């Protein structure tokens, strides 16, 4: 897997945007600012998915994360009326937490350097597979000319991974019921009783 | 535009290669992005997320940091999925992306339940600061 030229420039641009906004997110004073900066990071990540030809995952990222989960976060921030954290933003464990994450980062970087030194990731780039060459075949239906990513993911999702798919729907059902049960007020419970 | 992660290993091997060879390999290494760059990006995002979870006081920001951590893992999965797609000529090439979709589903469920708990707690104690959530502390 190699990105060269303009793709490499785009990668660096999106990566810098994602990391900078992530840092701003964990240091923002107000929770609403944090949510907006997290949206920026997630959109930059969706751009990275497009860069590696994962179009369906990029769409899901925008629709579910940015359109669903982050809107939920912003709703909850409005509901709990979180005041500006004027006195303290961080817990008392700021130094310990900072040191722990610093060592975690050092460890991850050391491991990555070690693996690259052993030429683990620098295999020769193979010829493009047949699936991509099929895009130029005029006998296929027009949808094949755009991208096969969504088609293939749909096929594998409904054949090989049907059971996890159904379990995921069960997880979502449990989450809905749990959220309704947890967020309900006493007044409303009395009405239902 | 500088790929530090390609520079360091090339310089480490500088003793064995002639100086002109080192320069050539440096240029080649800086201007292409391989899977290692994705791993570095995802590692950095992961560390930033962990820092947010360990140090912030607002529960909602902690939940957002957890989303950031899961997002970093997703970058890894998608990058490795593409890598395997190019290595394997399309066989089992989409499992990484499907796994990513499941991670997103679980993250959504986790956020919903967690925010429900936050709302229920706020109704009792009028706060969202983690060091004041001590009802079960003995």
Domain for residue A110, yes or no?
no
Q: Residue A60: which CATH number?
A: 1.20.120.1200
DSSP line for A41-53 = HHHHHHHHHHHTT
Q: What pLDDT was estimated at residue B24?
A: 65
Q: How many domains does chain A have?
A: 1
**With an 8 Å Cβ cutoff, is B27 touching chain A?**
no
For residue B79, name the pLDDT band (cuts at 50, 70, 90).
Answer: very high
Tokens found for residue A10 = 């785009």
Cβ partners under 8 Å of residue B18, min gap 6: none
Domain for residue A63, yes or no?
yes
- From residue B40, alpha-carbon distances to A7, A86, A111, A150, B116 in Å are 17, 35, 10, 27, 34
In this prediction the pTM is 0.82
- In A143-185, DSSP assigns E strands to none
Domain for residue A139, yes or no?
no
Which stretch, A127-141, B54-68, B80-94, B121-135, has highest mean pLDDT? B54-68
- From residue A192, alpha-carbon distances to A25, A147, A173, A183, A188 in Å are 41, 50, 21, 14, 6
Rounded Cα gap, residues B107 and B67, in angstroms? 7
Of A56, A85, A182, the CB nearest to B117: A182
User: Which residue range is the domain that position A27 belongs to?
Assistant: 1-83
Query: pLDDT, tens digit, for every residue of A8-22?
Result: 888 999 999 999 999
Residue B90 has pLDDT above 80, yes or no: no
- Asked if residue B14 lies in contact with residue B33, where contact means CB atoms within 8 angstroms, the answer is no
Query: pLDDT, tens digit, for every residue of A37-75?
Result: 999 999 999 999 999 889 999 999 999 999 999 999 999
- What is the percentage of chain A residues whose pLDDT exceeds 70? 78
| Structural domains present in chain B | 1-32 (no CATH), 36-132 (1.10.287.3510)
Q: What pLDDT was estimated at residue A100?
A: 92
Size of interface A-B (CB pairs under 8 A): 259
For residue A127, name the pLDDT band (cuts at 50, 70, 90).
Answer: very low
- End-to-end CA distance of chain A, in Å? 60
- Asked if residue B66 lies in contact with residue B49, where contact means CB atoms within 8 angstroms, the answer is yes
Provide φ and ψ at B78, rounded to 5°. Answer: -65, -40
Which of B 82-111 lie inside 8 A of A, CB atoms? 82-83, 85-90, 93-95, 97-98, 100-102, 104-111
Query: Residue A121: its chain B contacts at CB < 8 A?
Result: 34-36
How close B133 comes to chain A (CA, Å)? Answer: 12
- Asked if residue A44 lies in contact with residue A17, where contact means CB atoms within 8 angstroms, the answer is yes
Rounded Cα gap, residues A163 and A157, in angstroms? 9
- Asked if residue B58 lies in contact with residue B91, where contact means CB atoms within 8 angstroms, the answer is no
Rounded Cα gap, residues A13 and A51, in angstroms? 12
Domain for residue A16, yes or no?
yes
């Amino acid at each position: 897997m190699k990105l060269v030229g303009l793709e490499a420039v785009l990668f660096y641009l999106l990566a810098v945007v994602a990391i900078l906004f992530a840092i701003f997110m964990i240091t923002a004073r107000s929770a609403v600012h944090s949510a907006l900066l997290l949206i920026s990071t997630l959109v930059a990540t969706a751009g990275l998915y497009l860069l590696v030809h994962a179009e369906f995952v990029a769409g899901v990222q925008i629709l579910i994360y940015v359109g669903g989960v982050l809107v939920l976060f912003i709703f909850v921030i409005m509901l709990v009326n979180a005041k500006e954290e004027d006195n303290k933003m961080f817990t008392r464990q700021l130094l310990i937490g900072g040191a722990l994450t610093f060592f975690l980062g050092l460890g991850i970087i050391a491991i990555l350097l070690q693996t690259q030194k052993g030429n683990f990731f620098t295999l020769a780039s193979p010829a493009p597979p047949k699936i991509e060459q099929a895009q130029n075949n005029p006998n296929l239906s027009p949808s094949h000319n755009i991208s096969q990513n969504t088609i293939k993911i749909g096929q594998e999702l409904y054949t090989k991974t049907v059971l996890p798919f159904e379990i995921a729907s069960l997880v979502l059902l449990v989450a809905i019921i749990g959220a309704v049960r947890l967020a309900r007020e006493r007044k409303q419970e009395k009405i239902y009783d | 535009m500088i790929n530090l992660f390609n520079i360091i290993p090339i310089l480490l091997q500088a003793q064995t290669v002639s100086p002109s060879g080192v320069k050539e390999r440096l240029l080649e290494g800086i201007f292409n992005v391989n899977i290692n760059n994705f791993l570095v990006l995802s590692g950095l995002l992961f560390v930033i997320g962990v820092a947010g979870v360990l140090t912030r006081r607002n529960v909602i920001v902690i939940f957002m940091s957890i989303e950031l951590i899961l997002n970093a893992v997703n970058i890894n999965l998608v990058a490795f999925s593409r890598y395997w797609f190019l290595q394997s000529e399309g066989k089992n090439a989409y499992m990484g992306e499907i796994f990513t979709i499941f991670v997103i589903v679980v993250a959504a469920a986790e956020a919903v339940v967690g925010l429900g708990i936050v709302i229920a707690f706020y109704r009792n104690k009028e706060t969202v600061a983690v060091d004041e959530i001590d009802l079960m502390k003995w």
